[in-house]
Chain A
């Protein structure tokens, strides 16, 4: 979960789309909106990768005559919409985060850097905590007693809905549990 220049997860997180509204007419940028060669009209709403829209949003028109104005405005991505937040508040375990965004928490982290959304921050932290406990339960169940597969039917559903952070956590829990069992097995061999 480290974010560095070469971290593939950080790159993929930045590649997720965010709704962006252009505030200015931009000549020759129409190809973004499937109209190559035309001017991109102001007020156009496009889904752009986070890394691009972030740069556009923080940069402003550097002109001495007009007051400075940002190129685009960002909106909350649909995966962090109030509807999702309410669902997470109601029952964090039943939401399929992977369907919303592969890097759900990563996206949340980046968005929280740009927006001051206390509510979203609270909900994300609470659901991370709740789901982490569930993940660790599943991770310790898997492979115990040599069954290998999932023991409970509803577990499959939940595990399929994990985002990348959660998968990483699952892997860690599982690995530490496995290392422990391997050691205990070794003790028995000697």
Chain B
């Protein structure tokens, strides 16, 4: 079983619950994780293996019986570790956008986030569950219980007594949150039962509606990528504000201490320099026609 998510979501807690419950059923268990970067917003993963004798602590690609994902892009990162045709896929559909994904300052840029939708993925998996566990857990009272809700879904696929699950979960979650986590666990179980009984109905009712594949672009309302900066050197008094405030650092002061655009290829035409220049010395042109007019 592979458990994946983003730092702080409880991947390690979920793994400990799984390792403990497998051990309670008399299995040998190895659970492997990597520490260090986990707190710093990176992806976190944990491998849990159980059986009579476990050799390797890690699961090879195509070898996981279960992929439990607490975040959608992480599910996509690990999906090829699932046993083809047989593995059980359980994922929260919530998106945790890394700052890296919102980096482009180009106009009409989209977030660099996985394009696959839960619908597309579930169509290709025999035994797959995608639920908006975060929202459902929030509705129950605490979105941090999303992880135990997903455990509830998983519990219907493993032959362990429900009482053991509740017992182990109560031991590993913070004491104040035992009730909400048990509630979330039961909710996940019921949800999975519903899906088993009537996949279509349950899916329609409870699986999150399709997420828009990409944020709608407003490309049509704007001119193209044309950008030109005019700097009136006579008005520039070398205050350095534009140089310091340019988010792309494409301006500098030249030998005469006048502002110049020294890296035009980086300029995105964001107009910060134009707005902040106290002497109105900078004009950002977006329309080639205007440049000619002012020239």
The answer to whether A and B belong to the same complex is: no
Interface residues of B (CB under 8 A from A): none
Interface residues of A (CB under 8 A from B): none
